[in-house]
Amino acid sequence: MMEYCIIFCMFTMVMFIVWQVLCRYILELSAGYAEELARLSIVWLIFIGSGMAIRLNDHMNVDIVLKKMPKPVQFFINILVYVLIIIYGYVLLVYGAAYTASSWRDYATNLGYSRGLWPLAAPVAGAIMLLYSIVNCIIYIHNFFRPNSKIMRGGL
């Protein structure tokens, strides 16, 4: 589902940018709404993409340093990273939801949609990050203590 959302956001962003360029340089018209919707698409693309990176366990890390350390230190650092991501996801969820609720009644002047659609990406991504970080952390702990088990890393 997230893959389709990312593809949709990328597609709409590209289409709105192409439309705005065509309007500006070929049709000599102003399409201010296209820029606004392209920016909205990229905001959602970034937030949902970050949740997808957590789901696939592809978030940024420095493997070369971590692999040189002893296994118990690697375990501690990986658990610390998951805990920090869980805290970050919680902060995005709680404070993003509060900010979204406070800005929901403000409307955009160009198209009349709620400006709450912009910050709504934060609590959605926070919930996704929180869920998949917990799942990946449990899988990592399980695989550390039972290395021959069938549960694979990388989330659902």
Summarize pLDDT for 36-87 with one digit per residue, the tens: 888 889 999 999 999 999 988 887 777 788 888 898 898 999 899 999 999 9
| Nearest partner of 43 among 4, 93, 5, judged by Cα | 5
Global pTM?
0.80
The answer to whether 70 touches 148, Cβ cutoff 8 Å, is no
- Rounded-to-integer distance, Cα 8 and Cα 29, Å: 26
Domain boundaries, the chain: 2-145
Give me the residues paired with residue 114 across strands: 107
pLDDT score recorded for residue 88: 94
Q: Residues of 92-112 as b/e, b for ≥16 C-beta within 10 angstroms?
A: bbeebbebbeeeeeeeeeeee
- Rounded-to-integer distance, Cα 140 and Cα 46, Å: 26
The pLDDT confidence band at residue 155, using thresholds 50, 70 and 90, is very low
